[in-house]
Structure 1
Amino acid sequence: MIYPIVAYGDPVLKEVAEDIPQDYPNLKELVEDMYATMYHAHGVGLAAPQIGKSIRLFVIDSEPMMDEGDEGKGVKKAFINAEIVEEDGEEWGFEEGCLSIPGVREVVYRPERIVIRYFDEDWNEHEDTYDGMTARVIQHEYDHIEGVLFTDLVSGLKKRLIKNKLSKISRGEVDADYKMNFVGLSKKR
């Protein structure tokens, strides 16, 4: 199933998501649907709040973000009840975008390395270290389950410059090549 992506302005994107219990119904199916939705929208990550579910789940596939020579080093994985336990290394800037905020891209600075504890869809616990682009994709999706958007991490000047674009997105005045849900609007676009 392909879900519509929740657009900027929906309160679910600003909530801290709830932990998922082990008996959560149809979790594996939800994970597969999230991958399908992410690929359909040409994304490299998708968090459950972006499909209207305020639960601590996100999926990533960082392979498309790998530099030439690093092919095959991307990570495709689901993260359940994740907690970043450490961030270190030099912060580096990279232009990020978001499926919930189409047409807006800004440079965001993030630490180069993370340690994250999480469960996979079979409820196996992991604590892994990631760096570079995979760490960045994870940090971006992790922020979603913490109620943080990449636009929250840019400078005050940049926020003022993109304010009009964000307002238009929240009103449904945006072109995206995937279905979106807009808060307060009865139709999906």
Structure 2
Amino acid sequence: MAVLPIRITGDPVLHAPAAPVTEFDDALRTLVDDMFETMDAAPGVGLAGPQVGVPLRLFVFGWTDDDDVLHRGVAVNPVLWISPTGIGELDEDAEAEGCLSFPGERFPLRRAESVILEAVDLDGTPFEIRADGWLARIFQHEFDHLDGVLYVDRLSHPFAKAAKKVQKKNSWGVPGLSWLPGRDHLDD
């Protein structure tokens, strides 16, 4: 297993739709193992193929809820069914989100409270997960990556403006930038 470099916003692979996975082989298993190792080293709660430069429709996730239940897995060629999004003022703490491809920053973003994830596992076996709260947020965030959307692309004013300032300050938004968990120090 290996920790892979994580692409930073501006890399073309992050801003284009990913292709379906068609080969369920040892190379896919190795990629997924490396993605788990990378996500854990970052540390993060999810990581999509495009974030490690692989333009395929898959993501890994790993999150422990308030009841100490570990939700960990891989979703290949997922479909996401999203409940209607709530209305009202954003809670800047409870709805704050971060992204390993926009490292060290968090901004509030309204997401649906509930989703249904349909996907296949590494053997091509279909499964379904009904998720609420943070797990639903993780699924929506990672699924967006498969469509070439970063969470900062969804931010509303004034948070979109703040994100653009951070991007400019860090000289992000250009192809070829990445960071390596465990080696590169980024302010969290």
| TM bracket, shorter-chain basis | 0.7 to 0.9
For residue 48 of structure 1, what is the aligned residue in structure 2? Answer: 49
**Structure 1 residues 30 and 42, CA, compared in 2 at 3 Å: closer, same or farther?**
same
State TM-score, norm by structure 2. Answer: 0.83
Greater relative CO (CA pairs within 8 A, separation 6+):
2
Cα RMSD for the two superposed structures: 2.4
The range that moved more, 92-101 or 13-22, is 92-101
**1:124-162 CA distances to partner (integer Å, 9 max, x unpaired)?**
111221111111111111111111111011113321222
Q: Do the aligned partners of 2:86 and 2:110 also contact (CA within 8 Å) in 1?
A: no
For residue 183 of structure 1, what is the aligned residue in structure 2? Answer: none
User: Are 1:75 and 2:75 counterparts?
Assistant: no
Task: Return the letter of the residue paired with 2:30.
Answer: E
Q: Distance in 2 between matches of 1:124 and 1:155?
A: 38
Measure how far apart 1:89 and its partner are: 6.4
Measure how far apart 1:39 and its partner are: 0.5
**Structure 1 residues 160 and 176, CA, compared in 2 at 3 Å: closer, same or farther?**
farther
**Structure 1 residues 48 and 177, CA, compared in 2 at 3 Å: closer, same or farther?**
closer
Measure how far apart 1:25 and its partner are: 5.4
Q: Do the aligned partners of 1:57 and 1:79 also contact (CA within 8 Å) in 2?
A: yes
**Structure 1 residues 160 and 80, CA, compared in 2 at 3 Å: closer, same or farther?**
same
**Structure 1 residues 154 and 24, CA, compared in 2 at 3 Å: closer, same or farther?**
same
State TM-score, norm by structure 1. Answer: 0.83
Helix, strand or coil: the match of 1:75? strand
Q: Do the aligned partners of 1:8 and 1:169 also contact (CA within 8 Å) in 2?
A: no
User: Are 1:146 and 2:143 counterparts?
Assistant: no
Moved over 6 A (4+): 171-176
Q: 5+ unaligned residues in a row in structure 2: which ranges?
A: none
Q: Distance in 2 between matches of 1:150 and 1:103?
A: 14
Q: Distance in 1 between matches of 2:62 and 2:165?
A: 31
**Structure 1 residues 114 and 48, CA, compared in 2 at 3 Å: closer, same or farther?**
same
Q: How many residues align?
A: 175
Task: Return the letter of the residue paired with 1:155.
Answer: S
User: Are 1:123 and 2:124 counterparts?
Assistant: yes
Aligned ranges for residues 21-170 of structure 1 at < 5 Å?
Answer: 21-23=22-24, 26-63=27-64, 66-67=65-66, 70-72=67-69, 74-88=70-84, 90=86, 94-167=95-168, 168-170=170-172
Task: Return the letter of the residue paired with 1:85.
Answer: W
**1:151-182 CA distances to partner (integer Å, 9 max, x unpaired)?**
011113321222121122516999985457xx
Q: Distance in 2 between matches of 1:11 and 1:81?
A: 20
